Amino acid sequence: MQPPMYPEEFVTPMREELTAVGFQELRSPDEVDKVVTGKGTTLCVINSICGCAGGTARPAVALALQHKVIPDRLVTVFAGMERDAVEKVRQYHRDVAPPSSPSMVLFKDGKVVAMVQRSDIEGRTAQEVAGRLVADFGDHCARPGPSIPPEKFAQLKHLHACGSSVPRVQR
CA–CA distance, 5 with 24 (Å, rounded to integer): 21
The confidence band for 158, taking pLDDT boundaries of 50, 70 and 90, is confident
Count of all residues that appear for the chain in the document: 171
pLDDT at 55: 87
- How crowded is residue 138: how many other Cβ atoms within 10 Å of its Cβ? 11
Q: What percent of the chain has pLDDT over 70?
A: 93
pLDDT for the residue 34 = 95
Model pLDDT for residues 87-132, shown as the tens digit of each residue: 999 999 999 999 999 999 999 999 999 999 999 999 899 999 999 9
Torsion of CA 171, 161, 57, 17, to 10 degrees: 80
Residue 153 reports pLDDT greater than 90: yes
CA dihedral angle for residue 58, residue 107, residue 114, residue 101, rounded to 10 degrees:
40
Taking a C-beta distance cutoff of 8 angstroms, is the pair 14, 45 a contact? no
In the predicted structure, residue 15 carries a pLDDT above the cut 90: yes
Which pLDDT does position 50 carry in this prediction?
77
Q: Domains in the chain, ordered, with CATH? A: 8-152 (3.40.30.10)
pLDDT tens by residue, 19-30? 999 999 999 999
Amino acid letter for position 81 = M
pLDDT of residue 166: 56
Taking only the tens place, the pLDDT of each residue in 48-86 is: 987 778 889 999 999 999 999 999 999 999 999 999 999
* CA 48 remoteness from chain centre: 9
> What confidence score (pLDDT) does residue 49 get?
87
Give the active site residues. Answer: 50, 52
pLDDT of residue 165: 52
Give 148's contacts (C-beta < 8 A, 6+ positions apart).
Answer: 20, 21, 22, 65
pLDDT over 90 at 163, yes or no: no
**Other Cβ atoms closer than 10 A to 23:** 24
- Cα end-to-end distance, the chain, whole Å: 15
Q: What's this model's pTM, rounded to 2 decimal places?
A: 0.92
Q: What is the pLDDT of residue 169?
A: 62
Q: How high is the pLDDT of residue 167?
A: 56
**Is the pLDDT score of 146 beyond 70?**
yes
